[in-house]
Amino acid sequence: MSKKRNQSLLRLGLIVGIALFANVLGNVFFTHFDLTEDKRFTLSEPTLKMMKNLDAEVYINVMLAGDFNAGFKRLQRSVTEMLDDFKSESGFITYNYTNPGEGTVDEINARRTELAKDGIVPTNLRIKTTEGTEEKFIYPYAKISYKGRTAVVDLLDEEAVGANPDEKLNTSISQLEYKFANAFHKLESGAKEVIAFTMGHGELNERERADLVRSLRAYYEVGTFKLDSATIIPSEVKTLIVAKPKAPFSDRDLFLLDQYVMNGGTVLWLIDPLNVELDSLRNQNSYIARDYPLNINDMLFKYGARVNPDLVLDLQCSKIPMVIDQKGSMDLFPWYYFPVIVPNSNHPLVRNLDGINLYFPSSIDTIKTKTPVKKTILLTTSDHSKLQPNITRLNFEILRYGDEITASFDQKNIPVAVLLEGVFPSFFENRVTTEMQAGLQQIGQEYKAQSAPTRMVVVADGDVARNFVNAKTGQPLALGFNPIDRFTYSNKDFLLNAVEYLRDDVGIIAARGREVKLRLLDTQKAKDEETFWTLLNIGGPLVLLGVFGFVFTWLRKRKYAR
């Protein structure tokens, strides 16, 4: 008897020892297997590399402590899982949760004032209770401190206009890695990089680009740059955005742009080759679109892209309102000149993006270059599109034909945006004047006939970056939000991705393309099949228990009957 007791104690000791040893190993070594379809628990390679390169303590204060509804608890859990993944890759990561809404009224108000200095403002959260609806202010932010510098991460994506709360939270969760990785990168570099919009050629005005500028300022210093008053585009400008110019570029302007590219600068070209606007068409009923005298076609041609003076039409498009009777009644009609481009490329710049709404876009051709330049088509039309020459008169008669005209949309995959990467030849090769040489010598620069490896994106539509403006209040609407069909397209995400890719030298853009699929419950199907699933969930375990009991009893009788 004593022997059996000792054996039992020994087994118990071994089990406890193995459990303790496994627990110690689990704290020292962390690993997991990501079996999810969208790999939501796997960090991208650039993020992993960045974590391993950290060489000082990183303190993260997540302001999401407290009791929330199910949606925000999911966000809480996702943030914790993300930070645990970071900790498993770097021993320098430390994080904690705080609740800025705790304390006396004076303490809360003082804390709120202090947080507002960092751009941290509360979000009003409505919580359903047994007594009705309760409102509370929460702070969905994380503040990161590293080497004496701080960065703020907005954990909640509130810019998804028109999206329901579940979609907003899902978007927020899918962008957590990108937001944290981007903040780490900014802290490591020590300063925000500079993004500049060119001015002086009729580009989009301040209100028309307001939402894009606001979104870029979360990560960059954003300003404007007048080419006609500069002697050089400084290297501190990481990316130039040429957003829908209408007036010609002088040779001097082109030379500045050319040498900026030759020195490794990146450019986002948003070009409308034709002067055509919907308001102008309404006022004149019909007209022929004229070329904008931009004087940049030859330079883009030299770099490997040609923006054609034509118009792209697509059956996959957004709608416009039209008067349908003498009473002034309005109805919506598909306007083929406003195509909705759904990216089909797997490139990280456009991967997982929804439809992008363009306005009177043109087509793009890629051109063979003297130097090695890789051309990647980013955006193309659907399988039902066509080209219209610029000599064709535009009018609203196309709306009268409806289905009769669809047979003419027999072209597909017409390129409207292209990425150029590599070593670019100078547009001014064998054309540098004495005046240009003298100007370079005055600022201690030399003419370069070939660029350092760099990138540029060319989009054959300038309005892709233009946000609508509320006619009553004069306030800019969210970029991509179409007030006609009340839908938000992915224009902003596309442009933010483009800027990120142009200046990204560590591959963080890969995290931005992550997609966490939202698997929502089909409420109607659940209601229709409620009885079946109720019986299955209640009766199923009882049936299995009965079967197990019968088999167990039968085997036991069979064994001892012998």
pTM reported for the whole predicted model: 0.75
CA distances from 538 to 443, 523, 529, 543 (A): 82, 20, 14, 9
Number of Cβ atoms within 10 Å of the Cβ of 290: 11
Q: How far apart are CA 310 and CA 209, in angstroms?
A: 25
What band does 247 get if pLDDT is binned at 50, 70 and 90? very high
Least confident of 8-17, 27-36, 424-433, 475-484: 27-36
Least confident of 178-192, 229-243, 481-495: 178-192
Q: How far apart are CA 457 and CA 198, in angstroms?
A: 15
With a pLDDT cut of 90, the percent of the chain lying above it is 33
Q: How far apart are CA 510 and CA 349, in angstroms?
A: 8
Q: Is the pLDDT of residue 161 over 50?
A: no
Domains of the chain: 19-182 (3.40.30), 192-512 (3.40.50.880)
**Average pLDDT over the chain, rounded to an integer:** 83
C-alpha neighbours within 13 Å on the C-beta side of residue 272 = 25
Q: What is the pLDDT of residues 301-345, one digit of tens each?
A: 999 999 999 999 999 999 988 877 777 677 888 889 999 999 988
Q: What is the pLDDT of residue 150?
A: 84
Q: Which helix (H) or strand (E) holds 321?
A: strand 317-323
Helix axes 176-189, 70-89, angle to 10 degrees: 50
Strand partners, 393: 288
Q: Is the pLDDT of residue 15 over 90?
A: no
Q: How far apart are CA 251 and CA 267, in angstroms?
A: 18
Which of 9-18, 48-57, 231-240, 540-549 has the highest mean predicted lDDT (pLDDT)? Answer: 231-240
- The closest of 199, 180, 185 to 83, measured between CA atoms, is 180
Q: Is the pLDDT of residue 158 over 80?
A: no
What band does 514 get if pLDDT is binned at 50, 70 and 90? low
Q: What is the pLDDT of residues 31-60, one digit of tens each?
A: 555 555 555 567 777 788 888 888 889 999
Q: What is the pLDDT of residue 298?
A: 94
Q: Is the pLDDT of residue 519 over 60?
A: no
With a pLDDT cut of 70, the percent of the chain lying above it is 86
Residues in contact with 161: Cβ distance below 8 Å, sequence separation at least 6, in sequence order = 477, 478, 480, 481, 488
Rounded mean pLDDT, 350-359: 88
Q: What is the pLDDT of residue 362?
A: 95
Q: What is the pLDDT of residues 284-309, one digit of tens each?
A: 777 788 899 999 999 999 999 999 99
Contact 541, 547 (CB under 8 A): no
Tokens for 155, please give them: 């954990």
Q: What is the pLDDT of residue 520?
A: 47
Q: Extract the runs of DSSP E, i.e. beta strands, from 324-363.
A: 330-341, 356-357
Q: How far apart are CA 22 and CA 367, in angstroms?
A: 61
Q: How far apart are CA 552 and CA 557, in angstroms?
A: 9
Q: How far apart are CA 461 and CA 339, in angstroms?
A: 11
Q: What is the pLDDT of residues 65-77, one digit of tens each?
A: 877 777 778 888 8
Q: Is the pLDDT of residue 27 over 70?
A: no
Tokens for 488, please give them: 């938000």
- The closest of 47, 35, 36 to 83, measured between CA atoms, is 47
Q: Is the pLDDT of residue 394 over 50?
A: yes
Rounded mean pLDDT, 158-177: 65
Amino acid at 357: N
Q: What is the pLDDT of residue 518?
A: 44
